[in-house]
Amino acid sequence: MLRNSEAEPEVTEPIVLRHRVLPEFDRLTVYRQHGGYQAFERAVRSRSPEAVIQLVKDSGLRGRGGAGFPTGVKWSFLTPGVFPRYVVANADESEPGTFKDREIIERNPFQFLEGVAICAHAAQANVAYVYCRGEFWDLTSELDRKIAELEGAGLLGDGLFGTDYSLRIYTHLGAGAYICGEETALLESLEGKLGQPRLRPPFPAAEGLYGKPTVVNNVETLANLPLILERGVDWYRSVGTKQSPGTKVFSLSGHVKRPANVELPLGTTFRELIFEHGGGILGDKKIKAILPAGASAPILPAADDVLDSGMDYESVAALGSALGSASIIVLDETVNIAWAEAKITDFFEHESCGKCTPCREGTYWMKHILGRLMTGAARAEDIELLHSVGTGIRGKCLCALGDFAALAVTSGIERFGTDFKVHAVNGQ
Amino acid sequence: MAALAEKYRAEIQSILAKYPPEHKRSAVMPLLFVAQREYGHLDRQAIAEVAALLQLEPTEVGSLIGFYTLFHDRPGPTYRLQVCTDLPCALRGAEEFARELRQELNVSQGEPDTDGQIAVEEVKCLAACDRAPVFQLQEPGGIHYYENQTLETALAVVEELRGRAGSD
């Protein structure tokens, strides 16, 4: 039987959410008392950029923004000999179900900024931008103050630690567009243009910001770096699974008693996250389904084999979904999945940037068909039509948003067909 | 007419300093926020001013306003209470919250109240799913989050805003 404890369970030592156990960790003096900025200083003084890249490769750290691509490998694609280079931190967190980067920037800002600095050293960049979604207005003002504090303490600026290395970090506010979380759309937006994705290749590591070699990394990815450098590869790889090392910040939301960010080793089971850390289902109802990567991956029926599966990139893929940015939305037995898909489709239809026809038109038609289902005006064949529109989007767009928009819907029809039929029958 | 350039000289300089001089187009969104704070919305004159600051065509600046949801091209309410009603928030009662708030204020979705000061809008994900219901208050000078809301706490915010508007 499922455990349903009311007490907060034990959590393994956090790597990213260290502010949860260390009071006032958002103060520079406190952060430095706990070893903050030693990793960056040591890297600048005595570790070559190549050595840092190799170390991050060996650590097995994978991008925490959703793609799970090995971070050190991404860095090693920077075109040799081309300068200036740029580092961009992706803080455009906008996926329904995701709220981890915000907590990191708000509560553990100096570890995040040290991660940005370490990445800049490895990339041999002298300028880094933090692209924050426009809604993070207050958070960004606070981050500006933290950056100024680092400059005052000689931890950012010119001639760092007596070397000739200089680094400036600037924040940049977006203005409300989910698509800007896609790294090439983000770069377009940072250049002052419409946030629409670029054709790849070239990838940002070859031609990124202003056409120069650029690393774009998620906030959580960057926040992992200081401790990886300080404590080493073996320590890091002792947490998580072989192919997905380290911890992950799981954003747990929906029908759980305690929605929250929970940092756990990759490979922890859905059951442990939802029933121990999340306290179980609201009102002790039955769990029906899980969206493991927010709105952007196939929906999973909450059967025992799913609940007992580990949450790492490989295991969730084997279940027929994706871990993505690990935003776990829990749906209880009262939820009609067609309704949930209609909500998700509303989001993607609104956020489609309009560049690629299959996504722009496909999300529009999916929204209309789901609208018919929700108002009881649908015919039975509308379900098949909806599925075919979704299938028609997949694999045909410049960026992943098209696939994201379709995956939850097509999987919803395949795995929860009855929930759709209920509405169609009513409409006949 | 170069009102922004005069009034916000220091702020504009510090924004421009973030980007390489040959890529000052990057400053367009930060400058549009400055213009929106000053004028409340972004009309042709505001667009022309920002374009002039960056030596861009007004069309290049204007196209951004329809694309990014935090920019407004026409006069609107001073205060926008923007409630997230995406799936995770909806699972925790955000749609009912938005509906009750509109009912209580006697406004319809997106329409301002009788004073034209306050509107309740439903918006997309605000990255605060663990603290639903949540809304952001967008006003010309900034954006602030209000989390774990109830009808009572939201109405208290509205009262405070009305007091502020009345004392202007």
Categorize the per-residue pLDDT at B167 as very low, low, confident or very high, splitting at 50, 70 and 90: low
Contacts (Cβ under 8 Å, ≥6 apart) of A191: A209, A210, B23, B25, B26
What phi, psi does A80 have (nearest 5°)?
-65, 145
A225-234 confidence digits (pLDDT tens): 999 999 999 9
Return the number of other C-beta atoms located less than 10 Å from residue B127's C-beta: 26
A251-275 confidence digits (pLDDT tens): 999 999 999 999 999 999 999 999 9
A369 and A411 within one domain = yes
* Chain A residues with CB-CB distance to B131 below 8 A: 259
A372 and A252 within one domain = no
**Residue A12: its pLDDT value, please?**
73
3-state secondary structure of B65: helix
Of A270, A297, A332, the residue that ends a domain is A332
Cβ atoms of A279 and A5 closer than 8 Å: yes
**Residue B109: its pLDDT value, please?**
84
**Residue A123: its pLDDT value, please?**
98
Check B86 against A343: CB less than 8 A apart. yes
A377 and A277 within one domain = no
Cβ atoms of B65 and B47 closer than 8 Å: yes
- Which residue matches tokens 């906008």? A94
**Residue A426: its pLDDT value, please?**
58
B67-103 confidence digits (pLDDT tens): 999 999 999 999 999 999 999 999 999 999 999 999 9
Of A309, A332, A355, the residue that ends a domain is A332
Q: Is the pLDDT of residue B2 over 70?
A: no
What phi, psi does B53 have (nearest 5°)?
-60, -30
**CATH code where residue A407 lies:** 1.20.1440.230
**Residue B64: its pLDDT value, please?**
97
Categorize the per-residue pLDDT at B116 as very low, low, confident or very high, splitting at 50, 70 and 90: confident
Check A135 against B143: CB less than 8 A apart. yes
- For the beta sheet containing A86-91, the strands, ordered from the edge strand earlier in sequence to the opposite edge, are A168-173, A127-132, A86-91, A214-218
Strand pairing partners for A130? A89, A171
A381 falls within a domain: yes
**Residue A11: its pLDDT value, please?**
53
State how far residue A39 is from chain B, nearest Cα, in angstroms: 26
**Residue B113: its pLDDT value, please?**
83
Count Cα neighbours of A235 within 13 Å in the Cβ-side half-sphere.
12
Strands (E), A187-246: 214-218
Q: Which domains does chain B have, with CATH numbers?
A: 3-62 (1.10.10), 79-167 (3.40.30.10)
Option in B33, B67, B124 nearest A347 (CB):
B124
A288 and A215 within one domain = no
A66 and A140 within one domain = yes
Residues of chain A below pLDDT 50:
1-6, 427-428
* Whether the bond into A259 is cis, omega within 30 of 0: no
| ipTM summary value | 0.95
**Residue A423: its pLDDT value, please?**
86
**CATH code where residue A110 lies:** 3.40.50.11540
B-proximal residues of A, 126-145, CB under 8 Å:
129, 133-138
d(CA A307, CA A314): 15
Q: Is the pLDDT of residue B4 over 90?
A: yes
B114 or A120, higher pLDDT = A120
User: How many domains, in total, are found in chain A?
Assistant: 3
Find, in chain B, the residue whose alpha carbon is nearest to that of A337.
B87
**Residue A106: its pLDDT value, please?**
97
What phi, psi does B68 have (nearest 5°)?
-100, 125
Domain ranges, residue A282:
247-332
The predicted model gives B3-12 an average pLDDT of 95
